[in-house]
Amino acid sequence: MIRNIKYSFIQLKNDKINFFLKILQMVFSLLILGLIISGFENNYQIIKKINHIRAGKEAFILWDSSSEDYRDTLYHTPGNDIKTRKVIDELLNADTEFIVFNNVLSNTIQGKQVEIIQVTPNFFDRYSIRGDFDMELVEKQFHIHTVENYDYSQNKNIAIVGSDYKKKYKIGDTIRDDYNSSSYEIIGFLDSNQSYIRPSEGKELNSLDNAIIMPVFIDLKSVDDMLLFLLSCQFLVDDISELDSIMKIINEDKVMDTYLRSYTTQLEFMSKEYSNEFLIEGILGGSLLLFAFLGMLCTMIQRIVDNAYEYAVNLLCGARIWDIYARIMFEFVMIIMTGVLVSVWVYGFSLASYVIVLIALICFALVSVFAIKKIDFGSLVENIRSRG
Amino acid sequence: MSLLHLNNIVKTYGNGDGLVHALRGIDLSIESGESIAIMGTSGCGKSTLLNILGFVDRFTQGIYQIEGKDTNLFTEKEKANFRNKIFGFVVQDFALIPRLRVDENIMLPLEYVKLSKKEKNKKVDALLSELGILDKKKAYPTNLSGGQKQRVAIARALVNDARILLCDEPTGALDSDTTHEIMEIFTKLNREEKKTLIIVTHDQAVAKYCDRIIQLSDGLVIKDNND
């Protein structure tokens, strides 16, 4: 065996350009394969995420239809703060599940615009947000903060931050904005490629890689703040009538000119769109997968065919047929392993990598069968004779 | 005891309607140090016979003995060992690996022998010198003439001190002058170094260099001037 490995190394060294090209072919085939699988996986995860947000419930958002002038009037009408507070109290005391997702502001951190997002704890579960954070701590810390219950002495917000921050920060560190007006103590990191959906903004997913996520904060004395809070709620109900009491206060007290807009429709539209994409990708990806697979297979079979003459010469010089098999297998292990390692490096330990390993193993098995069928004394010696 | 002894060797290919009888029952004894030409028309089975003798093809039926030992009992490893140390192959198209240099091609059989690099080089140099192509040691086969390529092939066949040279149309790709030169080398190896020479050829001029001529036709020995 050692002799065969040594021989293979010498052979590969002598034939390095050809061998390098085969490796390149294999790496590209596997990377294409990974790309297809990643696309599938990504779309599957998106559909799963969209469906998980509702989990069979109806989703609504409050849609502000008031004109700018009217809104201005409402905000500055004396006593409106009390009316708005009433809506919030009603909401907080009701059993209705709601997710708050509030893009409060963007801040500049180290010269970069960063989205500061306020969320309720259920946001992480409903939007299937994964990361390195303690959910129990999130449940405890991400409750809705108000001016009354907020401890200003620390002048520090707790935050779960996007994966981009992993390079520079660790849990416990504090991120400060460029104007030193806000600081965020990191209690966790999100995994990369986490995303959210903006209600009423099409089917696009928005990345959280650069975001800072903190608990919801409401100033219960500010009409602006309270209305922004209400407009940031995504209500999850079995029936729209669950929201009647809230709507009644809003409408009767003329808190704002608003109506309930279905978020379900947007989510269903998104789910359908992504399912269609999934189908198209499935057909295209399936074809590409087949070509990538055949490409890999051809690469390896071509190597056997290219080297058949050399194998035959080796047999004449004293190699056993098993020496030839061992050399072929060793070469393929080298080619496949390089391809697999590059793919795992690119795609990490993901579904794409597992499928790549599986496909590579199937290829290896098929090529081994091909090699054993194709390489026998008769055919190899015939190969020498046919060149004569 | 004969060096090589074949008793009723049959070789068939395919099956059913496509069954082809390449050898129909060859009886043959070859003594050590003989020089033999196996002749016959194309497709008569002469190359098949040579391949069976050199363990590069299997026979379907019969007994093949080497120095009285039944080769049916040989393992693949033993057969490979014979191809490496006892038999030296020389074929029409030279069977040189184009991407290897002359010395690397000659060293191929030495891959299966425990020898230091220095000893291997010494052997290669001695053979190249003997065959008059030492200056081509670092050349690639594509830069050699037909005669030079065949000398390299002969050197490779001899590098492990093979006792039996199995040559399949060794001059088939050469002009008459080069054929003469190569046959002179074979004759010298046979006469001076007592190598057993078995040459498959359809060329009468080549056969004349051999002491014994075996004629094959349709898978059978029809004439053997030893009988």
Quickly tell me which residue has 């002491």 as its tokens: B211
Confidence at B87, pLDDT banded by 50, 70, 90:
very high
B120, B107 contact by CB (below 8 A): yes
pLDDT at res. B68:
93
Predicted local confidence at residue A216, as pLDDT: 86
Residue B83 to residue A323, Cβ atoms within 8 A: no
Residue A155: band (very low, low, confident or very high) from pLDDT cuts 50, 70, 90: low
Task: Answer yes or no: are the C-beta atoms of A76 and A246 closer than 8 Å.
Answer: no
Choose the closest CB to B56 out of A320, A322, A381.
A381
| CA A157 vs CA A43, A116, A144, A170, A176: distances in Å | 34, 11, 13, 16, 10
Distance CA B60, CA B105 (A): 33
SS3 B225: coil
Best mutation target among B100, B113, B164, B202 (most A Cβ atoms within 10 Å) is B100
- Which residues touch A143 (CB under 8 Å, ≥6 apart)? A120, A121, A215
Mutate to test the interface with A, among B55, B87, B90, B99 (most CBs of A within 10 A): B99
Average pLDDT over residues A162-171: 91
Question: Is the pLDDT reported for residue A318 higher than 60?
Answer: yes
Percentage of residues of chain B with pLDDT beyond 90: 78
- Please give the single-letter amino acid code of residue A270: M
* pLDDT tens digits for range B125-162: 999 998 999 999 999 999 999 999 999 999 999 999 99
Segment A68-111, tens digit of pLDDT: 777 777 777 777 788 888 888 888 887 777 887 776 667 778 77
HSE-CB of A350 using CA atoms within 13 angstroms:
20
Query: What are the phi and psi torsion angles at B43 (to 5°)?
Result: 85, 10
Amino acid at B47: S
User: Which residue did the predictor score with more confidence, A325 or B65?
Assistant: B65
The domain locations on chain A are 2-48+272-387, 57-264
Query: Is the predicted pLDDT of residue B80 greater than 60, yes or no?
Result: yes
Angle ∠(A24,A28,A29) on CA atoms, nearest 5: 115
Asked whether the beta carbons of residue A318 and residue B99 sit closer than 8 angstroms, the reply is no
pLDDT on residue A269 = 82
CA distances in angstroms from A182 to A109, A208, A228, B53, B158, listed in the order given: 10, 19, 20, 90, 86
- Which residue type sits at A165? Y
Give the pLDDT score at A388. 40
Q: Average pLDDT in the A291-317 region?
A: 81
Beta pairing, strands B164-168 & B87-91: parallel
Burial A9-44 (b: 16+ CB within 10 A, else e): eebbeebeeebeebbebbbbbbbbbbbbbbbbbbbe
Strands B61-66 and B69-70: antiparallel
The structure's pTM equals 0.65
Mean pLDDT of chain A: 81
pLDDT at B179: 93
Considering CB atoms only, which of B80, B95, B173 is closest to A313?
B95
Give CA–CA dist B159/B156, Å, rounded. 5
> What value does the mean pLDDT of chain B take?
92
Confidence of residue A65 (pLDDT cuts 50, 70, 90): confident
Please name which of B145, B143, B166, B144 lies closest in space to residue B154, comparing C-alpha atoms: B166
**What is the C-alpha radius of gyration for chain B, rounded to an integer number of angstroms?**
18
**Partners of residue A388 in chain B, C-beta under 8 Å:** 91-93, 169, 172-173
A314 touches B at CB < 8 Å = yes
Tens digits of residue pLDDT in A2-57:
777 777 777 777 777 877 887 887 888 788 878 888 887 778 878 888 888 877 88
For chain B, say whether A13 makes contact (Cβ under 8 Å).
Answer: no
Q: Of B74, B40, B27, which is closest to residue B54 (Cα–Cα)? A: B74
Cα separation, A335 vs A326, whole angstroms: 14
CA-nearest residue to B59 within chain A is: A378
**Which of A11, A317, A320 has the highest number of chain B CBs within 10 A, making it the mutation to test binding with B?**
A317
d(CA A218, CA A226): 6
pLDDT greater at residue A91 or residue B88? B88
Q: Which residues of B touch A312 (CB under 8 A)?
A: 95
Three-state DSSP state, B146: helix
Q: Does A387 touch chain B (CB under 8 A)?
A: yes
Q: Determine whether the interchain pair B51/A381 forms a contact, defined as Cβ–Cβ distance below 8 Å.
A: yes
Interface of B with A (CB under 8 A): 47, 51, 54, 56-58, 76-77, 80-81, 83-85, 89, 91-93, 95-97, 99-100, 104, 108-109, 111-112, 156, 160, 168-169, 172-173
| pLDDT beyond 70 at A385 | no
pLDDT tens-place string over residues B25-71: 999 999 999 999 999 988 899 989 999 999 988 899 999 999 999 99
Chains A & B: contacts with CB separation below 8 Å: 72
Higher pLDDT, A190 or A179: A190
Neighbours of A336 (CB within 10 A): 24
Least confident segment among A332-336, B20-24, B167-171: A332-336
Higher pLDDT, B38 or A153: B38
SS3 A168: coil
pLDDT at A387 over 60: no
